[in-house]
Amino acid sequence: MKRLTLRDQKTLHYTLSPFHKPTLTVSPGESVVVETEDAFSGQIRKPGDRRDTEKIPWGNPQSGPIYVEGANRGDALLVDIVKIEPTIGQGATRIPPLGYYPGLSTLPLAKVLGVELPHGSRICPIKDGKVYFSEKLALPYEPMVGTIGTAPEIEAITSVLPGPHGGNMDFADICPGARVYLPANAPGALLYIGDAHAAQGDAEISGTAIEMPAEITIKIDLVKGKRLRWPRIELADYIVTTSTTGAGRTLEDATRSAFFEMILWLEEEYGMDRWEAYQLCTQVARVRMGNIWSISTKFPKKYL
């Protein structure tokens, strides 16, 4: 098993780009333990700490890219999430200022509530399978990968945003036991991963989950000639398709797109008539939000 530590990484990346030099090369079928920093770039470690945007103006640093031998444009990368472990025994969350998190910048919360948003940093110890939101309130430790994606073909995309390449999707279902399918858009696919969460509800409405530095164990494989339009996820009991908003695209559009991808998946790989799939999705499918830009559609495997 290979390891990619922060020391090996040297420079964390705030874009998913085909132009960054790979920090590790793997063969299909290899497993890797990847050390990742939290979404705050390690700046919030104790009560009262704040993000210093003068020092580090960006958020959501990524480890990688990992170069996968044999991967080329038009292939699919398979990433099994094996294990996610906190490295310092705690996570942190905060209330970011409006404008820091683009999805919330248009909400007139301060005007509606008549108050300014508080700073709101909170340190959350992680122990015995629980995340301590406060001394009185313990949440279940349900680790997930917030950001995972491959390099776009010809551009660099900020690690804060999701898209067809993956990126900052924040799907709670990208957790231990999940298999993530990602499109390869460049030679080597160039896999980025980071933004581990100890816990997160659907929509991540404040803009930050329980963010934690972590060691993420993954197994990387490759399917030649499998072209994907959007990332997919496979769980023990569900197959999952994804879509996101974007320029001129609403959550309604993203939801339709995720269902469109599911219907085609059911037709192409499971032999289901597309119109039967269309009707059946209406009866049995489930929809979840990642962050406020990301939608997933879940279809129960028992109906395949």
CATH for 260: 3.10.28.20
Residues 222, 239, single domain; the answer is: no
In the predicted structure, residue 261 carries a pLDDT above the cut 80: yes
Rg of the chain (C-alpha set):
19
Q: Is residue 108 domain-shared with residue 148, that is, in the same domain?
A: yes
Q: 84 lies in which domain range?
A: 2-49+56-226
What pLDDT digit, counting tens, does each position of 18-53 carry?
A: 999 999 999 999 999 999 999 999 999 999 899 998
Q: Are residues 65 and 170 in the same domain?
A: yes
Are 213 and 246 part of one and the same domain?
no
List, in order, residues 6 or more apart from 270 with CB less than 8 Å away.
304
For the residues 74-81, what does the mean pLDDT come to?
98
| Cβ atoms of 78 and 181 closer than 8 Å | yes
Cα–Cα–Cα angle for 193, 198, 97, rounded to 5 degrees: 85
* Both structure tokens of 274: 């597309």
Is 123 found in the same domain as 217?
Answer: yes
- The pLDDT tens digits of the residues spanning 208-229 come to 999 999 999 999 999 999 999 9
Considering 193, 226, 259, which residue would you say is the last residue of a domain? 226
- Do 192 and 62 meet the contact criterion of CB atoms below 8 Å apart? yes
Work out the pLDDT band at 96, boundaries 50, 70, 90. Answer: confident
What phi, psi does 32 have (nearest 5°)?
-140, 140
- Asked whether residue 206 falls in the same domain as residue 252, the answer is no
Q: What percent of the chain has pLDDT over 90?
A: 87
What lies within 8 Å, CB to CB, of 3 at 6+ separation is: 32, 33, 34, 35
pLDDT of 178 strictly over 90 = yes
Same-domain status, 60 and 200: yes
Domain match, 172 and 117 both: yes
Which of 50, 61, 60 shows the shortest CA–CA distance to 101? 60
Q: Can you say whether the dihedral through the CA atoms of 129, 133, 134, 140 is positive or negative?
A: negative
The enclosing domain of 204 has a CATH number of 2.60.120.580
**Are both 175 and 123 inside the same structural domain?**
yes
The phi and psi torsions of 187 (rounded to 5 degrees) equal -55, 130
Mapped onto helix, strand or coil, the DSSP state of residue 158 is: strand
Domains: count for the chain = 2
> Which one, of 151, 190, 170, 194, lies nearest residue 242 by Cα?
170
Domain boundary among 226, 256, 279: 226
3-state secondary structure of 231: coil
- Give the pTM: 0.95
Residue 288 has pLDDT above 60, yes or no: yes
- Note whether 198 and 291 are same-domain residues: no
Domain co-membership, 154 together with 114: yes
- Residues 217 and 266 both lie in one domain: no
Q: Domain ends where: 191, 208, 226?
A: 226
Judge contact between 169 and 291, C-beta under 8 A.
yes
Cα(161)–Cα(62) distance, integer angstroms: 12
- 219: exposed, middle or buried (Cβ count in 10 Å: 0-12, 13-18, 19+): middle
- With a cut of 60, say whether residue 154 has pLDDT above it: yes
Q: Which has more pLDDT, 115 or 132?
A: 132
